[in-house]
Structure 1
Amino acid sequence: MDTSIQPSAEKLTISKWCHAAITEISCQERGTMLAPSSTLTLEQGWQKTGAMESLQNLKKFNNQDFSHLRALCLSQGLLFEDDTFPAHVNSIGPNLLPKDKLHQIQWKRPTELQRNPYLIMDGVSRFDIMQGEIGDCWMLAALGSLTLQKQFLENVLPKDQGFQDNYAGIFHFRFWQYGDWVDVVIDDRLPFLNGRYLSVHPRTSNEFWPSLLEKAYAKLRGSYQNLHGGYLSDALVDLTGGVQVQFSLKDPPPDLEEILKAAAKSQCLMGCSTSGQLRRNIELKNGIVQGHAYTITGTVKIPYKNGWKHIIRIWNPWGHGEWKGPWSDGSPQWDRVEPKCREDLLRNKDDGEFWMSCENFQEQFSWLYICNSTPTFLNFGDQHGTTWSVDRHISLWSPALATGRNNYSPAGAVSTNPQYFFKVPDYDPKTYNVVISLMQKHAEDMQDAKNLKIGFFITMKDSKVLKQIFSLTRDVTSYFLLSPGTYAVVPTTTEDQEFEFLLRIFMKNHDYNETSNVPPSPELPMDVPRQNQDRSYKAVFLRYAGQDSAIDASQLQQLLNEVFLQDEMTSLGGRFSFDSCRGILALMDLNSNGQLTLQEFGILWRSLTKYMDIFIMEDRNHSGFLDVSELKSAIQTAGLAADEQLLRLMVLRYGDAARRIGFTDFVCCMLRLETMTYAFQNLAGGRSQILVTAKEWLTLVMYT
């Protein structure tokens, strides 16, 4: 093949054009690094994501304005002291400690503890957290999961604060409370008992974000005492504003593995807990703690022996104490795993994090908790183009509307309580399509109030009750597979007290049109009625684009690795390198300015999703790679052409030593083949040959 450039114009056939294009630009570094999902990528720090710059309807807790209070303190040369949550035993709570110990509590600022304190050092990580004397593992387990999902983390932990600039002893954090985001202001005086942190303490002595965030949450809840025991499900919702579902591991749904896979793929927050409320914090011989909450930080299938093994990664908020059984640190099972895979997954440290098999997970734990903006963890089966919408209703239970104490009569509930109707237009019988979440709200002066027993009925219009759910928890959430029809949800309570409630009805949409005139929002969902929350290319673009509303190669790399390497099959071939993303960007960069606009990214997105579907379909043995014959079939499926010589060059250029092509290399290869094929066809105008000048040829091969 002669690809030399002559001074005069040269005739190029489509075969020569594609051969030259395939061999020109580096797309992917070689390697077989396992990158199962974004739940396995570690901390993100404060990288720019294009996520929400502000929150809608942000409320100021106790009417305290952070910016105003800080400016006032700076102007007066004072450190902030919060009278609404003072350095006093009242903020601890009367029953957390014996009275003699309560009066031994000392309050100290980080500047008194460390010469050079920081709010955050080297990014935010779950490994920054070590649980203190307070039994708030339920909150810390949710917080550990939050550190893995920066799209939520940046909501909770504002960036406009620290110890280096404009320090005035004041900080603020945000939590979702009953439909609204609330900004909670605190001073930085932390409680100590006998010289030790009473609350969570950081692993790095001069990093204080965990302790300060926990204090803000204690203020929101009324006292530190109110963090001593709680529900992981509550904390997940408070940190995200999302919807959470609990799954019993003693009676698991038949599609539990698919739910875990979909949850990891869609970047959900996940946690789990053990039983044993009467034996809380008792560590068994196998290392598992009874009555304790944990974070799920990863789930993946790996090649093992002659098949695949589903393993789950779990983190203990204590910051130490790990599972000692199969797949734990140093267990013999890891000896049968490919060295590169073992190196990527295994962190052999006493940091509270460990792996275990899915079977052992179900044996040792009682409950699985999954949370996201919408119920994406139910997105399995036929899910392409699937989105969720939500209807929100806020109303009041009054004695006249309650069903009556210990009265569970559906007829009584339907006759006396408000009904909220929704219509299911169609459904896929393989997956769930409706999630209903009912939350009770205590009065603002009743933080210590006990939960009512609440629930709801689902009825067909003018028909009998189909489902009834009750629980003594703050919110009751369940998922359903409902056939087409009109339904009514009837919220109920067994008490005759007046309480406000929030009802959210999430419905799966199978017929979403990307050309809808509903503008995507870069902000986290605020539960606007019928608000579409989806992974359309517009929403993804806005999450990663910079202030100039464009994506550069670095942002594209982050996007591709976090969005498209969720499935274990697509992740086995390694991650998208920076060079590969520069090459992809150049192919799509119509303006030749080194960035992708929304329009250009939309073209890329459609190609990426198409090639992901083709790759998964053609990978018939589920190896995570395509061999030569599978690659040939994939090219044909894409509607492109490649003769044997071109196919050999593609495998040589993009394949590994075994002549296999992983997903990331496949994407680079196909994007280049597709782009150059269409470019040739446009220039040729139906002919089989074209004339290009040396300048045109160099422009094509040196940038694209």
Structure 2
Amino acid sequence: MFVRSEQRNEFWAPLLEKAYAKLHGSYEVMRGGHMNEAFVDFTGGVGEVLYLRQNSMGLFSALRHALAKESLVGATALSDRGEYRTEEGLVKGHAYSVTGTHKVFLGFTKVRLLRLRNPWGRVEWTGAWSDSCPRWDTLPTECRDALLVKKEDGEFWMELRDFLLHFDTVQICSLSPEVLGPSPEGGGWHVHTFQGRWVRGFNSGGSQPNAETFWTNPQFRLTLLEPDEEEEDEDEEGPWGGWGASGAWGPARGGRTPKCTVLLSLTQRNRRRLRAKGLTYLTVGFHVFQVRLVRGHAAPFPAAGGLWDSPRSRALLPPDCSAGCRLRPGHYLVVPSTASSLCVFSSERRHTPPEIDDVISADLQALQGPYLPLELGLEQLFKELAGEEEELNACQLQALLSIALEPARVHTRTPREIGLRTCEQLLQCFGHGQSLALHHFQQLWGHLLEWQAIFHKFDEDASGTMNSYELRLALNAAGFHLNNQLTQALTSRYRDSRLRVDFERFVSCVAQLTCVFCHCSQHLDGGEGVICLTHRQWMEAATFS
């Protein structure tokens, strides 16, 4: 964004330009870019880019409804050799504003007109329906006087088909209710914003829906309740949905199906500021899946088989990846993939789009565990190592587990024993002190066998490790249901540099969760998920769990 004041005593524009440059770090990084970047930065709205060469159906209706909602609309004629003026008076490589739409009749032919403005204010369109075009003389006087202003102000009318011939993209910025104020003509938007990030090894699952890790991407549940109000619209609805038009044609009987207008935008933040470091915009995208309800809720990730259908996808390189959707009332999952982002939902009617997340809980069986009688040989080994005290310390427990778990390690390519620090953690969790009695070891051994079976289930290649993306599923199988924030913290703590979790790390993780949940269950206040701890109790929980 670069500006110049028309008046010598007008200084707000250079100050705004300087502030914008300071925000991004320098004037150099402000060169180039997309019109919608400035739209979004200065209004906080939601931007969308329509590529006219791909499909132009429904464009006139989309523009008309966008302008009725006081959206900012621009158009660009792309150029591979900088800005230059064409014979028709257009400037290639230059940004134009779209300021109005109108339908007129030329005889019995309906003509769709767009009003554009060249911000330079000096160069205008000279083709059909320009200021000097004789076609204006065929219109009724009132219509001509209302539309035509013969003035070299850079604003002009052109027919839709000429617009599609000369322009390549349309960029729309839908303004938020805070900017628009009370109820603009044509109705407003309801806006929902989510901030998030992709963490390697936890929820950066890639952009291919058939990939094994795709389900680990962040997911947002979108529930559409009320369809748009019916409007008379003769334009055929296109891929942009008509922005509030009366609905798409039903696939079965050719009638109109009530639909909801939703605008989804995935935005990369602060990428322009990092351009000086050689960073560019990342390829980001999202998929929209229609889902069925499971026990009253939209089913998340692992239940993908048979639950996700009718995917719509969008993957682009610019800072904003946006798409206007016309969806039937129902339940949907929005799955963004790759890059740090801000996800914004806008819709004409009020809908509910919370992020899909688990409630923190643990199954009772996970805390109690199976109480299995020890094999005679294992019990005898315990007594030999325990000696007269009949209790094991951490070193003795490590020796016992090394022998007891040896058969399982034989079948892995990278066998690894449980370390001394993990054994100390197990003592604290199951022995409630610095030693472990026989009946405590029986409880620990039942848990270990269960955790070992779960680990082997996710260690499909018998490598002795599982992918860190699968830690959430493994913890679920162990009976621990955690939210995204807690799962991310545990994944970052227990994975290695190659995004793997070995058996010892898994045991340490599950043992810590068991200890924390057991400790918290002793201090529940009223059964509402709230615990009350004194300062001493909190310090004990933080130190020993």
Normalised to the residue count of structure 2, the TM-score between the two structures is 0.50
Structure showing greater Rg: 2
